[in-house]
Structure 1
Amino acid sequence: MKPSEPTTLEDLTEVIRQLAAHYGLWMAESVHQLGLEAALDAEKEAGDRFFGILSGKLARALGVTPQEILAGTDQETLDKLGMALRSAWLAADGVWFQAIEKQADMVTAKRVNDTCWSRFSPLEARRAKDILGLPDNGGIPALKAALGVRMYAHLNRWEFTDETENSIVFRMTDCRVQTARKRKGLADYPCKSGGITEYVGFSNEIDSRFKCECIGCPPDEHPEEWVCSWRFTIEE
Protein backbone atom coordinates (compact mmCIF):
# COMPACT_ATOMS: atom_id res chain seq x y z
CA MET A 1 0.00 0.00 0.00
CA LYS A 2 1.35 3.42 -0.96
CA PRO A 3 1.07 6.13 1.74
CA SER A 4 -1.43 8.04 -0.44
CA GLU A 5 -3.81 5.10 -0.81
CA PRO A 6 -6.81 4.88 1.56
CA THR A 7 -6.57 2.35 4.38
CA THR A 8 -8.88 -0.64 4.03
CA LEU A 9 -10.18 -3.23 6.49
CA GLU A 10 -7.70 -5.70 5.00
CA ASP A 11 -4.88 -3.26 5.74
CA LEU A 12 -5.95 -2.98 9.40
CA THR A 13 -6.25 -6.73 9.85
CA GLU A 14 -2.79 -7.19 8.33
CA VAL A 15 -1.36 -4.67 10.80
CA ILE A 16 -3.01 -6.55 13.70
CA ARG A 17 -1.67 -9.85 12.36
CA GLN A 18 1.91 -8.60 12.18
CA LEU A 19 1.66 -6.75 15.51
CA ALA A 20 0.46 -9.92 17.27
CA ALA A 21 3.15 -12.04 15.59
CA HIS A 22 5.95 -9.62 16.47
CA TYR A 23 4.85 -9.30 20.10
CA GLY A 24 4.64 -13.07 20.40
CA LEU A 25 8.05 -13.58 18.81
CA TRP A 26 9.59 -11.19 21.33
CA MET A 27 8.02 -13.18 24.14
CA ALA A 28 9.14 -16.54 22.72
CA GLU A 29 12.72 -15.44 22.14
CA SER A 30 12.88 -13.80 25.58
CA VAL A 31 11.98 -17.16 27.11
CA HIS A 32 14.70 -18.80 25.01
CA GLN A 33 17.37 -16.25 25.92
CA LEU A 34 16.45 -15.39 29.53
CA GLY A 35 14.25 -18.19 30.84
CA LEU A 36 10.55 -18.08 31.60
CA GLU A 37 10.73 -16.19 34.91
CA ALA A 38 12.76 -13.30 33.52
CA ALA A 39 10.70 -13.24 30.32
CA LEU A 40 7.48 -12.88 32.33
CA ASP A 41 9.03 -9.99 34.24
CA ALA A 42 10.03 -8.36 30.95
CA GLU A 43 6.54 -8.89 29.50
CA LYS A 44 5.03 -7.13 32.51
CA GLU A 45 7.16 -4.04 31.90
CA ALA A 46 6.92 -4.08 28.11
CA GLY A 47 3.22 -4.94 28.04
CA ASP A 48 2.20 -2.22 30.49
CA ARG A 49 4.16 0.37 28.51
CA PHE A 50 3.05 -0.86 25.09
CA PHE A 51 -0.68 -0.97 25.75
CA GLY A 52 -0.54 2.49 27.31
CA ILE A 53 1.16 3.71 24.12
CA LEU A 54 -1.36 1.84 21.96
CA SER A 55 -4.34 3.35 23.80
CA GLY A 56 -2.90 6.81 23.35
CA LYS A 57 -2.25 6.35 19.65
CA LEU A 58 -5.74 4.97 19.00
CA ALA A 59 -7.30 7.80 20.98
CA ARG A 60 -5.41 10.46 19.02
CA ALA A 61 -6.35 8.81 15.72
CA LEU A 62 -10.02 8.89 16.74
CA GLY A 63 -9.82 12.40 18.18
CA VAL A 64 -10.81 11.33 21.69
CA THR A 65 -9.18 10.58 25.03
CA PRO A 66 -8.24 6.98 25.87
CA GLN A 67 -11.17 6.84 28.29
CA GLU A 68 -13.54 7.88 25.50
CA ILE A 69 -12.54 5.25 22.92
CA LEU A 70 -15.57 3.08 23.68
CA ALA A 71 -17.63 5.74 25.45
CA GLY A 72 -21.29 5.38 24.64
CA THR A 73 -20.96 1.71 23.72
CA ASP A 74 -23.72 -0.22 25.49
CA GLN A 75 -22.91 -3.16 27.76
CA GLU A 76 -24.36 -5.75 25.40
CA THR A 77 -22.05 -4.62 22.61
CA LEU A 78 -19.04 -4.60 24.93
CA ASP A 79 -19.90 -8.14 26.02
CA LYS A 80 -20.15 -9.22 22.38
CA LEU A 81 -16.80 -7.62 21.58
CA GLY A 82 -15.19 -9.41 24.52
CA MET A 83 -16.63 -12.74 23.42
CA ALA A 84 -15.55 -12.16 19.82
CA LEU A 85 -11.96 -11.48 20.88
CA ARG A 86 -11.81 -14.44 23.25
CA SER A 87 -13.28 -16.84 20.70
CA ALA A 88 -10.79 -15.49 18.14
CA TRP A 89 -8.00 -16.37 20.59
CA LEU A 90 -9.34 -19.94 20.73
CA ALA A 91 -9.61 -20.05 16.94
CA ALA A 92 -5.98 -18.92 16.61
CA ASP A 93 -4.94 -21.78 18.88
CA GLY A 94 -6.87 -24.23 16.71
CA VAL A 95 -5.65 -23.10 13.32
CA TRP A 96 -2.03 -23.11 14.49
CA PHE A 97 -2.42 -26.66 15.76
CA GLN A 98 -3.92 -27.76 12.45
CA ALA A 99 -1.19 -26.01 10.45
CA ILE A 100 1.60 -27.71 12.42
CA GLU A 101 -0.16 -31.06 12.20
CA LYS A 102 -0.37 -30.62 8.41
CA GLN A 103 3.29 -29.61 8.16
CA ALA A 104 4.49 -32.45 10.38
CA ASP A 105 2.19 -34.73 12.38
CA MET A 106 -0.07 -34.91 15.44
CA VAL A 107 2.80 -35.68 17.82
CA THR A 108 4.70 -32.56 16.71
CA ALA A 109 1.58 -30.41 16.91
CA LYS A 110 0.92 -31.61 20.46
CA ARG A 111 4.54 -30.93 21.42
CA VAL A 112 4.30 -27.35 20.10
CA ASN A 113 0.92 -26.96 21.80
CA ASP A 114 2.21 -28.13 25.17
CA THR A 115 5.26 -25.88 24.94
CA CYS A 116 3.03 -22.89 24.21
CA TRP A 117 0.85 -23.70 27.23
CA SER A 118 3.92 -24.05 29.44
CA ARG A 119 4.60 -20.37 28.73
CA PHE A 120 1.11 -18.95 28.30
CA SER A 121 -0.43 -20.39 31.48
CA PRO A 122 2.07 -18.71 33.83
CA LEU A 123 1.63 -15.49 31.85
CA GLU A 124 -2.15 -15.73 32.13
CA ALA A 125 -1.86 -16.38 35.87
CA ARG A 126 0.40 -13.35 36.34
CA ARG A 127 -2.01 -11.18 34.39
CA ALA A 128 -4.88 -12.41 36.59
CA LYS A 129 -2.89 -11.61 39.75
CA ASP A 130 -2.08 -8.16 38.44
CA ILE A 131 -5.62 -7.35 37.27
CA LEU A 132 -7.27 -8.63 40.44
CA GLY A 133 -4.57 -7.45 42.84
CA LEU A 134 -4.03 -10.97 44.19
CA PRO A 135 -1.19 -11.62 46.64
CA ASP A 136 1.61 -14.09 46.09
CA ASN A 137 0.77 -17.50 47.57
CA GLY A 138 -2.86 -16.49 48.04
CA GLY A 139 -4.04 -20.08 48.35
CA ILE A 140 -7.38 -21.43 47.25
CA PRO A 141 -9.24 -18.07 47.26
CA ALA A 142 -6.65 -16.61 44.87
CA LEU A 143 -6.78 -19.66 42.59
CA LYS A 144 -10.57 -19.55 42.41
CA ALA A 145 -10.52 -15.85 41.56
CA ALA A 146 -7.79 -16.26 38.94
CA LEU A 147 -9.43 -19.23 37.23
CA GLY A 148 -12.59 -17.13 36.99
CA VAL A 149 -10.98 -14.49 34.76
CA ARG A 150 -9.11 -16.77 32.36
CA MET A 151 -9.90 -16.73 28.64
CA TYR A 152 -11.51 -20.15 28.99
CA ALA A 153 -13.66 -18.95 31.89
CA HIS A 154 -15.67 -16.85 29.42
CA LEU A 155 -15.84 -19.53 26.71
CA ASN A 156 -16.59 -22.76 28.59
CA ARG A 157 -18.85 -23.77 31.48
CA TRP A 158 -17.13 -24.91 34.67
CA GLU A 159 -17.61 -25.43 38.39
CA PHE A 160 -15.74 -25.78 41.69
CA THR A 161 -16.25 -28.31 44.47
CA ASP A 162 -14.67 -27.62 47.86
CA GLU A 163 -13.25 -30.91 49.17
CA THR A 164 -11.26 -29.93 52.25
CA GLU A 165 -9.80 -26.78 53.75
CA ASN A 166 -6.75 -27.27 51.55
CA SER A 167 -8.17 -28.77 48.35
CA ILE A 168 -10.72 -28.07 45.64
CA VAL A 169 -11.84 -29.82 42.47
CA PHE A 170 -12.25 -27.84 39.27
CA ARG A 171 -14.37 -29.36 36.50
CA MET A 172 -14.96 -28.27 32.92
CA THR A 173 -18.61 -29.14 32.40
CA ASP A 174 -18.78 -27.95 28.80
CA CYS A 175 -15.75 -27.41 26.55
CA ARG A 176 -16.18 -25.62 23.23
CA VAL A 177 -13.51 -27.66 21.52
CA GLN A 178 -14.85 -31.04 22.63
CA THR A 179 -18.50 -30.03 22.09
CA ALA A 180 -17.69 -29.00 18.51
CA ARG A 181 -15.99 -32.35 17.89
CA LYS A 182 -18.96 -34.18 19.36
CA ARG A 183 -21.31 -32.34 16.98
CA LYS A 184 -19.17 -33.54 14.08
CA GLY A 185 -19.25 -37.13 15.32
CA LEU A 186 -15.55 -37.07 16.27
CA ALA A 187 -13.93 -38.59 19.34
CA ASP A 188 -12.65 -36.32 22.10
CA TYR A 189 -9.41 -34.52 21.33
CA PRO A 190 -6.74 -36.09 23.63
CA CYS A 191 -5.79 -32.93 25.50
CA LYS A 192 -4.52 -34.46 28.77
CA SER A 193 -0.83 -33.67 28.26
CA GLY A 194 -1.60 -30.06 27.40
CA GLY A 195 -4.05 -29.82 30.30
CA ILE A 196 -1.47 -31.04 32.81
CA THR A 197 1.02 -28.49 31.50
CA GLU A 198 -1.64 -25.77 31.56
CA TYR A 199 -3.10 -26.31 35.03
CA VAL A 200 0.18 -27.11 36.78
CA GLY A 201 1.77 -23.98 35.33
CA PHE A 202 -1.23 -21.78 36.12
CA SER A 203 -1.75 -22.98 39.69
CA ASN A 204 1.95 -22.87 40.60
CA GLU A 205 2.18 -19.30 39.38
CA ILE A 206 -0.75 -18.36 41.62
CA ASP A 207 0.70 -20.21 44.62
CA SER A 208 3.87 -22.30 44.52
CA ARG A 209 2.45 -24.63 47.19
CA PHE A 210 -0.21 -26.06 44.87
CA LYS A 211 -0.11 -29.65 43.73
CA CYS A 212 -2.28 -30.28 40.68
CA GLU A 213 -3.73 -33.75 40.08
CA CYS A 214 -5.59 -34.76 36.93
CA ILE A 215 -8.72 -36.68 37.94
CA GLY A 216 -9.67 -37.23 34.32
CA CYS A 217 -9.11 -35.63 30.93
CA PRO A 218 -9.44 -36.96 27.35
CA PRO A 219 -8.35 -39.49 26.22
CA ASP A 220 -9.50 -40.70 29.67
CA GLU A 221 -13.07 -41.87 29.93
CA HIS A 222 -15.30 -39.29 31.63
CA PRO A 223 -18.95 -38.96 32.60
CA GLU A 224 -21.41 -36.83 30.65
CA GLU A 225 -21.42 -34.29 33.50
CA TRP A 226 -17.87 -33.09 32.84
CA VAL A 227 -15.11 -33.22 30.24
CA CYS A 228 -12.05 -32.80 32.43
CA SER A 229 -11.53 -32.59 36.18
CA TRP A 230 -8.60 -31.36 38.27
CA ARG A 231 -7.76 -31.42 41.96
CA PHE A 232 -5.71 -28.60 43.46
CA THR A 233 -4.21 -29.20 46.90
CA ILE A 234 -2.16 -26.83 49.05
CA GLU A 235 0.89 -28.64 50.37
CA GLU A 236 2.14 -26.96 53.53
Structure 2
Amino acid sequence: MGSEKLSGVSVDQMENLVENMMWFWGNLYQRWRAAAEDEYGVDAALKLELKFIGSIGKSHARGIKSILNVPKGIAGFIEAYRFAPENFVEGFRISEQTDKYVVVYNPSCSVQKARTDRGKREFPCKESGILYFTAFAREIDPDIRLSCIVCPPDDHPDDCFCKWKIEVV
Protein backbone atom coordinates (compact mmCIF):
# COMPACT_ATOMS: atom_id res chain seq x y z
CA MET A 1 0.00 0.00 0.00
CA GLY A 2 2.83 2.38 0.83
CA SER A 3 0.87 4.95 2.83
CA GLU A 4 2.34 5.99 6.17
CA LYS A 5 -1.06 7.37 7.14
CA LEU A 6 -2.44 3.83 7.20
CA SER A 7 0.52 2.21 8.94
CA GLY A 8 -0.59 -0.03 11.78
CA VAL A 9 -4.25 -0.05 10.75
CA SER A 10 -5.78 -3.53 10.72
CA VAL A 11 -7.95 -4.82 7.88
CA ASP A 12 -11.04 -4.60 10.11
CA GLN A 13 -10.20 -1.04 11.07
CA MET A 14 -9.58 -0.20 7.40
CA GLU A 15 -13.00 -1.59 6.43
CA ASN A 16 -14.65 0.43 9.19
CA LEU A 17 -12.77 3.57 8.13
CA VAL A 18 -13.86 3.14 4.50
CA GLU A 19 -17.49 2.63 5.49
CA ASN A 20 -17.31 5.63 7.82
CA MET A 21 -15.81 7.82 5.09
CA MET A 22 -18.48 6.76 2.62
CA TRP A 23 -21.20 7.54 5.16
CA PHE A 24 -19.52 10.87 5.86
CA TRP A 25 -19.43 11.71 2.15
CA GLY A 26 -23.13 10.92 1.80
CA ASN A 27 -23.97 12.88 4.92
CA LEU A 28 -21.96 15.89 3.77
CA TYR A 29 -23.58 15.80 0.34
CA GLN A 30 -27.09 15.63 1.80
CA ARG A 31 -26.37 18.43 4.26
CA TRP A 32 -25.09 20.58 1.40
CA ARG A 33 -28.25 19.86 -0.58
CA ALA A 34 -30.48 20.64 2.42
CA ALA A 35 -28.65 23.90 3.15
CA ALA A 36 -28.90 25.00 -0.49
CA GLU A 37 -32.60 24.15 -0.49
CA ASP A 38 -33.25 25.96 2.80
CA GLU A 39 -31.43 29.05 1.55
CA TYR A 40 -32.53 29.19 -2.09
CA GLY A 41 -35.41 26.72 -2.56
CA VAL A 42 -35.60 23.25 -4.05
CA ASP A 43 -35.44 24.39 -7.70
CA ALA A 44 -32.26 26.40 -7.12
CA ALA A 45 -30.68 23.57 -5.10
CA LEU A 46 -31.36 21.18 -7.96
CA LYS A 47 -30.00 23.66 -10.50
CA LEU A 48 -26.77 23.97 -8.50
CA GLU A 49 -26.48 20.21 -8.11
CA LEU A 50 -26.88 19.66 -11.84
CA LYS A 51 -23.81 21.83 -12.44
CA PHE A 52 -21.45 19.35 -10.77
CA ILE A 53 -23.07 15.96 -10.22
CA GLY A 54 -21.98 14.49 -13.57
CA SER A 55 -18.35 15.31 -12.91
CA ILE A 56 -18.69 13.72 -9.45
CA GLY A 57 -19.95 10.49 -11.02
CA LYS A 58 -17.10 10.45 -13.50
CA SER A 59 -14.57 11.19 -10.76
CA HIS A 60 -15.91 8.43 -8.51
CA ALA A 61 -15.73 5.87 -11.33
CA ARG A 62 -12.29 6.99 -12.44
CA GLY A 63 -10.87 6.65 -8.93
CA ILE A 64 -12.45 3.27 -8.31
CA LYS A 65 -11.40 2.03 -11.76
CA SER A 66 -7.79 3.05 -11.21
CA ILE A 67 -7.59 1.27 -7.86
CA LEU A 68 -9.45 -1.92 -8.77
CA ASN A 69 -8.62 -2.22 -12.48
CA VAL A 70 -12.25 -3.06 -13.25
CA PRO A 71 -13.03 -4.42 -16.71
CA LYS A 72 -15.34 -2.81 -19.23
CA GLY A 73 -18.93 -3.93 -19.60
CA ILE A 74 -21.64 -4.76 -17.13
CA ALA A 75 -19.29 -6.79 -14.92
CA GLY A 76 -17.02 -3.76 -14.62
CA PHE A 77 -19.91 -1.45 -13.83
CA ILE A 78 -21.19 -3.78 -11.10
CA GLU A 79 -17.72 -4.18 -9.59
CA ALA A 80 -17.09 -0.44 -9.57
CA TYR A 81 -20.55 0.52 -8.36
CA ARG A 82 -20.12 -1.71 -5.31
CA PHE A 83 -17.69 0.96 -4.10
CA ALA A 84 -19.54 4.12 -5.14
CA PRO A 85 -20.21 6.30 -2.08
CA GLU A 86 -23.99 6.44 -2.52
CA ASN A 87 -24.13 2.66 -2.71
CA PHE A 88 -22.50 2.46 0.72
CA VAL A 89 -25.05 4.93 2.06
CA GLU A 90 -28.15 3.55 0.35
CA GLY A 91 -27.46 -0.09 -0.47
CA PHE A 92 -28.73 -0.35 -4.02
CA ARG A 93 -29.76 -3.85 -5.08
CA ILE A 94 -29.72 -5.73 -8.36
CA SER A 95 -33.11 -6.93 -9.63
CA GLU A 96 -32.02 -8.24 -13.05
CA GLN A 97 -28.66 -9.02 -14.60
CA THR A 98 -27.29 -10.45 -17.85
CA ASP A 99 -24.01 -10.00 -19.72
CA LYS A 100 -25.58 -7.05 -21.57
CA TYR A 101 -27.49 -5.22 -18.85
CA VAL A 102 -28.18 -4.82 -15.17
CA VAL A 103 -31.12 -3.23 -13.36
CA VAL A 104 -30.32 -1.63 -10.01
CA TYR A 105 -32.75 -0.09 -7.56
CA ASN A 106 -32.90 1.58 -4.17
CA PRO A 107 -35.46 -0.22 -2.01
CA SER A 108 -35.36 2.24 0.89
CA CYS A 109 -33.96 5.71 0.25
CA SER A 110 -32.86 7.16 3.59
CA VAL A 111 -32.66 10.65 2.09
CA GLN A 112 -36.22 10.67 0.76
CA LYS A 113 -37.59 9.01 3.90
CA ALA A 114 -35.92 11.64 6.09
CA ARG A 115 -37.41 14.39 3.94
CA THR A 116 -40.94 13.02 4.12
CA ASP A 117 -40.57 12.40 7.87
CA ARG A 118 -39.82 16.14 8.20
CA GLY A 119 -42.91 17.00 6.16
CA LYS A 120 -41.03 17.84 2.95
CA ARG A 121 -41.82 16.46 -0.46
CA GLU A 122 -39.35 14.09 -2.05
CA PHE A 123 -36.38 15.74 -3.69
CA PRO A 124 -36.72 15.55 -7.49
CA CYS A 125 -33.43 13.72 -7.98
CA LYS A 126 -34.14 12.10 -11.36
CA GLU A 127 -32.07 14.56 -13.41
CA SER A 128 -29.20 14.33 -10.94
CA GLY A 129 -29.35 10.55 -11.02
CA ILE A 130 -29.28 10.50 -14.80
CA LEU A 131 -26.21 12.74 -14.89
CA TYR A 132 -24.38 10.88 -12.11
CA PHE A 133 -25.13 7.34 -13.31
CA THR A 134 -24.43 8.18 -16.95
CA ALA A 135 -21.06 9.74 -16.17
CA PHE A 136 -20.15 6.94 -13.77
CA ALA A 137 -21.12 4.18 -16.21
CA ARG A 138 -19.48 5.74 -19.26
CA GLU A 139 -16.23 6.21 -17.37
CA ILE A 140 -16.24 2.45 -16.84
CA ASP A 141 -17.23 1.73 -20.45
CA PRO A 142 -18.11 4.34 -23.12
CA ASP A 143 -20.52 1.81 -24.68
CA ILE A 144 -22.74 1.71 -21.60
CA ARG A 145 -26.08 3.49 -21.76
CA LEU A 146 -28.43 4.31 -18.93
CA SER A 147 -32.19 4.55 -18.74
CA CYS A 148 -34.24 5.62 -15.77
CA ILE A 149 -37.14 3.31 -15.00
CA VAL A 150 -38.40 5.36 -12.04
CA CYS A 151 -37.02 8.10 -9.80
CA PRO A 152 -38.52 11.04 -7.90
CA PRO A 153 -40.37 13.14 -8.83
CA ASP A 154 -41.98 10.05 -10.47
CA ASP A 155 -44.52 8.10 -8.47
CA HIS A 156 -42.92 4.91 -7.19
CA PRO A 157 -43.79 1.94 -5.01
CA ASP A 158 -42.81 2.07 -1.34
CA ASP A 159 -40.11 -0.57 -1.85
CA CYS A 160 -38.44 1.06 -4.86
CA PHE A 161 -37.50 4.72 -4.74
CA CYS A 162 -35.46 4.67 -7.92
CA LYS A 163 -34.61 2.06 -10.54
CA TRP A 164 -32.07 2.23 -13.35
CA LYS A 165 -31.21 0.05 -16.32
CA ILE A 166 -27.56 0.06 -17.35
CA GLU A 167 -26.78 -1.70 -20.61
CA VAL A 168 -23.99 -2.16 -23.13
CA VAL A 169 -25.01 -1.09 -26.63
Shorter chain as normaliser: what TM range? Answer: 0.7 to 0.9
1:110 to partner: Cα distance: 0.7
Choose between structure 1 and 2: higher helix proportion.
Answer: 1
Structure whose CA Rg is larger? 1
More deviation, 121-130/155-164: 155-164
TM alignment of 1:1-236, pairs within 5 A: 55=3, 59=4, 66-68=5-7, 71=8, 73=10, 75=12, 77-135=13-71, 138-235=72-169
1:134 to partner: Cα distance: 1.8
| Aligned counterparts of 1:233 and 1:81: Cα–Cα separation in 2 | 32
Go from structure 1 to structure 2 and tell me whether the alpha carbon gap of 1:139 and 1:73 turns closer, same or farther (over 3 Å shift).
closer
Unaligned runs of 5+ in 1: 1-51, 60-65
More deviation, 210-219/82-91: 82-91
Go from structure 1 to structure 2 and tell me whether the alpha carbon gap of 1:159 and 1:186 turns closer, same or farther (over 3 Å shift).
same
- 1:160 alignment partner, SS class: strand
| Aligned counterparts of 2:120 and 2:38: Cα–Cα separation in 1 | 18
CA RMSD of aligned residues (A): 2.2
1:139 to partner: Cα distance: 0.5
1:224 to partner: Cα distance: 2.0
Go from structure 1 to structure 2 and tell me whether the alpha carbon gap of 1:165 and 1:94 turns closer, same or farther (over 3 Å shift).
closer
Q: Please list the CA deviations of residues 143-196 of structure 1 after superposition, one character each: whole Å capped at 9, or x if unmatched.
A: 010111111221112211335441211111122212322433443221111111
- TM-score normalised by L of structure 1: 0.64
Return the structure number with greater relative CO, CA threshold 8 A, min gap 6.
Answer: 2
- 1:188 alignment partner, SS class: coil
- 1:174 alignment partner, SS class: coil
| Percent pairwise identity | 26
- 2:123 alignment partner, SS class: coil
Unaligned runs of 5+ in 2: none
Matched residues, number: 168
Q: Please list the CA deviations of residues 8-32 of structure 1 after superposition, one character each: whole Å capped at 9, or x if unmatched.
A: xxxxxxxxxxxxxxxxxxxxxxxxx
- TM-score normalised by L of structure 2: 0.86
Q: Please list the CA deviations of residues 14-69 of structure 1 after superposition, one character each: whole Å capped at 9, or x if unmatched.
A: xxxxxxxxxxxxxxxxxxxxxxxxxxxxxxxxxxxxxx8xx5xxx5xxxxxx452x
* Letter paired with 1:110: L
Go from structure 1 to structure 2 and tell me whether the alpha carbon gap of 1:233 and 1:128 turns closer, same or farther (over 3 Å shift).
same
| Aligned counterparts of 1:163 and 1:83: Cα–Cα separation in 2 | 26
